[in-house]
Amino acid sequence: MKTTASILLATVATAAAFTSPSTQSASTQLQSAQSDLEALAVDLNPSIKYYDPLRLTTWNFWEQGDEATIGFLRHAEIKHGRVAMAAFVGYCVQSNFHWPWAMKLDGTAFPSTDLSPPEQWAALPIESKHQILTVIGFLEIYSELASSVTDPDVYQPHYMKGGKPGAYPKFGAAVPHPVPFNLYDPFGWSKNRSEEAKARGLVAEINNGRLAMLGIFGFLLEQTLPGSIPLLGDIVKPYSGDLIAGKAFTFY
């Protein structure tokens, strides 16, 4: 388990380094989305602070105004950070552990760890890929439609219209089939946390999401361009296919 230990140790060390103890601005009443963003940037990285060389916050996406643009950018970063964290952990697990149960009713096993994660994806049957992408598509559409439903347990303002960036709606009557647990905080462990604790959690989540983005791209770079990330040379298996256009992400 040399590979697993190396990855886990690197993850713990770097994640701790990216977590800031500063929470002063979390309790401050900010006057605008821009000042909120600038204050959050200080908590996220006190050394760099606010950094927007392209001035993306002033691009006025879809002519919705600067506050809506900032809401979109903040939501996008949080969501993609979560995806990257899931991808990073999934990559580590798929590289080292083989699921013991059958993948299909006919007894077909899951792809072996002899294959790299992209090769394992390519080896999945088309039905499995459709199931995965259908669930992802449903979750994405459901979150976007939460601002247009009448169910008070589901409704939440859209993140571009004053809603909280990164918030995911609860499951309720809007779901055609009963769902016993919500996607976020399914066991209710976070609902009684203080606002200060939630602010610290947000800072840690965003920073760890940024770190995970670098991590998963590092895996993919070393895999397709051996030697590009020397520290991963003995960890990541080479992949000769095309990650974007090749068989790793094709469906047929």
pLDDT, tens digit (0-9, with 9 covering 90-100), for 48-83: 999 999 999 999 999 999 999 999 999 999 999 999
Is residue 200 annotated as involved in ligand binding?
no
The pair of structure tokens assigned to 188 is: 């209710």
How many C-beta atoms lie closer than 10 Å to residue 11's C-beta?
A: 17
Report the predicted TM-score, pTM, of the whole model to 2 decimal places: 0.81
Is residue 45 annotated as involved in ligand binding?
no
Q: What is the pLDDT of residues 119-138, one digit of tens each?
A: 999 899 999 999 999 999 99
Is residue 210 annotated as involved in ligand binding?
yes
**Residue (of 82, 79, 90) closest to 118 by Cα position:** 90
How would residue 174 be classed by pLDDT, with cut points 50, 70 and 90? low
Domains detected in the chain: 32-43+61-224 (1.10.3460)
Residue type, 108: T
Angle at 228 between CA 245 and CA 90, to 5 degrees: 60
Is residue 177 annotated as involved in ligand binding?
no
How many C-beta atoms lie closer than 10 Å to residue 33's C-beta?
A: 20
